[in-house]
Amino acid sequence: MPQLKIGVLISGSGTNLQSIIDNVEKGEINGKITVVISNKSDAYGLERARQHNIDAVFVNHKEYENFEMYNDAVIEELEKHGVELIVLAGYLKILSGNFIEKYRNKIINIHPSLIPSFCGKGYYGLKVHEAAVNYGVKLSGATVHFVDEQADTGPIIMQESVEVDYDDSAETLQKKILKIEHKILPLSVKYYCDGKIEVVGRKVKIN
């Protein structure tokens, strides 16, 4: 099977990006990251990409007249790099309808809760973990899913849970969950690149 070309979109530190880079380099993932794109010029993930000789591109939304044109500029970069699978790894921008339509079931996202809990509009970063801790749930976790038109509603590829202890803060829970994110995101990418993932309606079958 030829190596799949992967594009990773980030906005921040990029520890999830790093987990994919590491698994590609170990030969676990039959793919190649051809580009990392950020909407933030100072995202550390761009630096991680450069350190591994991966093209790192900052696309500045301020340079575009509107949301659609910014998204089209991101698509152009992805096309330039022949991207076949897009991974949103802490990317804090919404994708345009055109973007989602063009890459239907080819965009995956990692979210730091057990969807459908603590997800959707406004649930990002520490806010997700604050909500989980304040609610008093005993389990939280991470979800890898395909991206569709709504926030965090696409078919779920993989989930894993962690226990929430009485004394957990949003910060300690975030740390615990990041650990499992770094496991299930690269594993999902691996399965995708191996052609093992089948979307049946809103369910995902891993063959």
Considering only residues 97 to 136 of the shown chain, the ones binding ligand GRF according to CB under 6 A are: 110-112
Paired tokens of 48: 């991680």
What is the CB neighbour count within 10 angstroms for residue 43?
24
- Give me the amino acid identity at 96: S
Question: Closest distance between ligand GRF and the C-beta of residue 65, in Å?
Answer: 27
Q: Is 154 in the site for ligand GRF (CB under 6 A)?
A: no
Any catalytic annotation for residue 111? yes
Q: Is 152 in the site for ligand GRF (CB under 6 A)?
A: no
Report DSSP letters for 149-205, one per residue.
SSTT-SPEEEEEEEEPPTT--HHHHHHHHHHHHHHHHHHHHHHHHTT-EEEETTEEE
Piece of 14-22, 23-31, 115-123, 161-169 that binds ligand GRF (CB under 6 A) = 14-22
Angle between helices 44-51 and 15-25 (to 10 degrees): 10
Question: Closest distance between ligand GRF and the C-beta of residue 18, in Å?
Answer: 8
Residues that bind ligand GRF (CB under 6 A): 10, 12-16, 89-90, 110-112, 178, 181
Residues with catalytic function:
111
